[in-house]
Amino acid sequence: MRKTSMRWVAGVAAGVMVVTFGLAATRVMGETPGAQSGPVPLTQEIPLGLEDPAGYIPADNPQTAKKIELGRWLFFDKRLSKTNTVACANCHMPGLAFTDGQAVSMGINRLQGGRSAPTAINRVYGKAQFWDGRAQTLEEQSTGPFINPVEHGFLDYDEMIAKMKAISGYRALFQEVFHGEITEQNIGKAIASFQRTLISGNSPADRFDFGGEEQALSDSAKRGLELFRGKARCTRCHSGFNFSDEQFHNLGIGWDTNTVDLGRYMVTKNPEDIGAFKTPTLREISRTAPYMHDGRFGTLEEVVDFYNQGGIKNPHLDNTVIPLALTAEEKRDVVAFLRSLNGEGWHAATAPTEFPK
């Protein structure tokens, strides 16, 4: 698909998002919504460098304005936890590029999980979700944390849905959007629809690579781009327009401290997947520290040093991970290029000022 600024029918433009969500946030939430005659066509300006998200929207969950609006409320509503203290946005904060800035995430009762929260940005382009790929769809990923005892804390979906059905505003909204009751499947569809509007493109790297803007990158970042594609071997995993092969790799994380997380192996039971984790996108990477699935690195410089040494040796180390022999200047250049991957398209997604009652 053509990686240029384009129009598509099935998403929300940053400008349109401001208008739609701004109106949503100021309406009287206790009111019964009016009838919806059908899906509302949406228009989104796709930032330079990205493929058209319309090709990644599942046929059974088309984007509509009302569904995205509902998903946004659900994403930010702390009542969707057992203790009314945790929302999806606790771990995926807009101000931190939809991460939480923590080495490992915190759920109800200040309980800590075992992995860092990856960004929700550009997951419209993703395949299997979560670090270990245990969710096959974004819809499945969107509901999984609700019944995790460390995250949102519900015993099961029945307990969660019963709580939501006690909120008349949500009952009315689900009837309007889905013409039915609140269900686990429809909750997932709404939240996934909102998450699919969180896109990042038109970064300095895109403007240099696709827009022909020579001044978009510094000389250091230009050298870093050449290293990224060559000596530094970054594109062995961070490939394509979203800088991820959507595959799973063992880098040796945890083997040095005897705290190995088995990762993908717990999903597939394939010994080749022991200690393997999903390749994250590099878009917005300088805004999404700390890094790795255990959040061990606080800076991009540390990450580049780690790859330069060839990861951590272990019986299952990915064969693409080898010592790189980068010089100090070359490492600085790679970091300069990584910092050029911050873009736009997701900044307009903000928390509502009130919620359904």
How crowded is residue 306: how many other Cβ atoms within 10 Å of its Cβ?
A: 19
Specify if 17 maps to a domain: yes
Residue 175 — very low, low, confident or very high, per pLDDT cuts 50/70/90? very high
Residue 158, token pair as written in the block = 């029945």
Q: Are 134 and 38 members of one domain? A: yes
pLDDT of 35 > 70? The answer is: no
- Is the predicted pLDDT of residue 22 greater than 70, yes or no? no
Distances (CA, A) of 274 to 151, 268, 270, 311, 343: 25, 9, 7, 15, 34
161 and 239 share one domain: no
Cα-atom radius of gyration of the chain, to the nearest Å? 21
Residues 101 and 185 in one domain: yes
The rounded distance, in Å, linking the Cα atoms of 126 and 204 is 23
Question: What distances in angstroms separate CA 148 from CA 81, 98, 153, 295, 327, one per listed residue?
Answer: 10, 20, 5, 20, 44
Q: Among the three residues 141, 176, 195, which one is the final residue of a domain in this structure? A: 195
Judge whether 274 lies within some domain: yes
Residue 289 lies in a domain: yes
Residue-range definition of the domain harbouring residue 31: 6-195
- Among 195, 228, 253, the domain-final residue is 195
- Percent of the chain whose predicted confidence (pLDDT) is above 70: 88
Average pLDDT over residues 155-179: 97
C-alpha distances out from residue 272 to 87, 264, 265, 266, 269, Å: 35, 9, 8, 11, 9
234 in the same domain as 103 = no
Looking at residue 102, which CATH number applies to its domain? 1.10.760.10
pLDDT digits (tens, 9 = 90+) for 264-288: 999 999 999 999 999 999 999 999 9
Same domain, 191 and 210: no
Report the distance separating Cα 42 and Cα 18, nearest Å. Answer: 13
The reply to whether 344 falls in a domain is no
Are 153 and 99 within one domain? yes
Place of tokens 């939480």: 100
Counted domains in the chain: 2
pLDDT in tens, 279-317: 999 999 999 999 999 999 999 999 999 999 999 999 999
Q: 211 to each of 22, 214, 223, 245, how far by Cα in Å?
A: 32, 9, 18, 23
According to DSSP H, which parts of 137-218 are helical?
138-143, 157-165, 168-178, 184-195, 204-209
Q: Average the pLDDT over 228-232 and give the result.
A: 98
pLDDT, position 42: 66
Do 116 and 235 belong to one domain? no
Q: What is the pLDDT of residues 48-63, one digit of tens each?
A: 999 999 999 999 999 9
Q: Are residues 171 and 236 in the same domain?
A: no
Does 108 or 199 have the greater pLDDT score?
199
What pLDDT, on the 0 to 100 scale, is given for residue 45?
Answer: 85
Average pLDDT, the chain: 89
Q: Give the SS3 label for residue 43.
A: strand
Percentage of the chain beyond pLDDT 90 is 84
pTM: 0.88
- At residue 7 the predicted structure's pLDDT band, cuts being 50, 70 and 90, is very low
Instruction: Say if 334 falls within a structural domain.
Output: yes
Q: Classify residue 216: in a domain, yes or no.
A: yes
Supply the DSSP string of 100-146, one letter for each residue. Answer: -S-SS-B-GGG-B-SSPPPP-TTGGG-SSBSTT--BSSHHHHHHGGG
State whether 181 and 251 are in the same domain.
no
